[in-house]
Amino acid sequence: MQQIITLITDFGLKDSFAGVMKGVLYSINPNITIIDINHNIARHNIQQCAINIKNSYSYFPKGTIHLAIVDPGVGTMRNPLIVESNQHYFIGPDNGIFSYIYENNDCTVYRITANEYFLNTVSSSFHGRDIFSPIAANLSITHSPEKFGTVINEYVSIELKRPKRDNSNIYGEIIYVDSFGNLMTNIENKDVDYNDEIFVNDISIGKLSSNYSDGKADTLIAIHGSNGTIEIAMNQASAAGRYKILPCVRILKTGKNIKVSNE
């Protein structure tokens, strides 16, 4: 089976960083397949990186290696990690980017110590090239994470933004804005049905739409999002572009209110 390595970074495509990482990976194992998930994570945005990992990894075959580099602490004493979970491997810095993986799966977490696999010169500013890419490429050959480090039980996990429940109310917030300007909430699709009424900043936008094209020009809609949570969107326009500050959203149910806000 072809070995896949996925890439998620905040490097963008303006510079050579993502391409150089691929060069290191191919130099060590030319038989891999590299798939770019996202190189446009907002700079240093650990939460956004964690969400991208959560939303993408399960669509790849078992044994896939997911290399994620959003690393504002590069060059510090933070640990480099391999996380083994659900027959997938995750490689990156110990700063919370794997928080959804820790929460939803049984994990074995390794602190990478096998510096003999690093590039000969390790910079203080590009561990994606010098440490993480060589480890990922060698792991794609050995499939033995224990060869590269020791198991640890303490690692960084960020506070994940979850809806709050109060009697018949669910309070959530907008946790992510995608490249189309759609507002992703943390309210799960299963908690909202087509009989509910949705308010944005206390202005009704009606009931759930079945798809983006249901929306009229310059009109906000809400849909069941593909990643399992409610989205606020506009047909062929940016919902986020309408607001300088992300809006509050309130969803009314029969006998139950669901409120979503960014506060």
Listed in sequence order, the residues at least 6 apart from 169 whose beta carbon sits closer than 8 Å to its beta carbon are: 256, 257, 258, 259
pLDDT at residue 99, rounded to an integer: 96
Sequential pLDDT tens for the chain (263 residues): 689 999 999 999 999 999 999 999 999 999 999 999 999 999 999 999 999 999 999 999 999 999 999 999 998 989 999 999 999 999 999 999 999 999 877 999 999 999 999 999 999 999 999 999 999 999 999 999 999 999 999 999 998 888 877 766 777 788 888 989 999 998 899 988 888 888 888 788 889 999 999 888 889 999 999 989 999 999 999 999 988 787 877 777 765 666 666 65
pTM of the complete model: 0.88
Secondary structure, 3-state, the chain = CCCEEEEEECCCCCCCHHHHHHHHHHHHCCCCEEEEEECCCCCCCHHHHHHHHHHHHHHCCCCCEEEEECCCCCCCCCCEEEEEECCEEEEEECCCCCHHHHHHCCEEEEEECCHHHCCCCCCCCCHHHHHHHHHHHHHHHHCCHHHCEEEECCCCCCCCCCCEEECCEEEECEEEECCCCCEEEEEEHHHCCCCCEEEECCEEEECCECCHHHCCCCCEEEEECCCCEEEEEECCECCHHHCCCCCCEEEEECCEEEEECCC
Nearest alpha carbon to residue 65 among 95, 28, 17, 40: 28
Cβ contact 58:30 at 8 Å:
no
Nearest alpha carbon to residue 229 among 263, 195, 179, 178: 178
pLDDT at residue 11, rounded to an integer: 96
pLDDT at residue 40, rounded to an integer: 94
pLDDT at residue 232, rounded to an integer: 93
Domains, the chain: 4-152 (3.40.50.10790), 164-260 (2.40.30.90)
∠ CA 102-104-110, rounded to 5°: 25
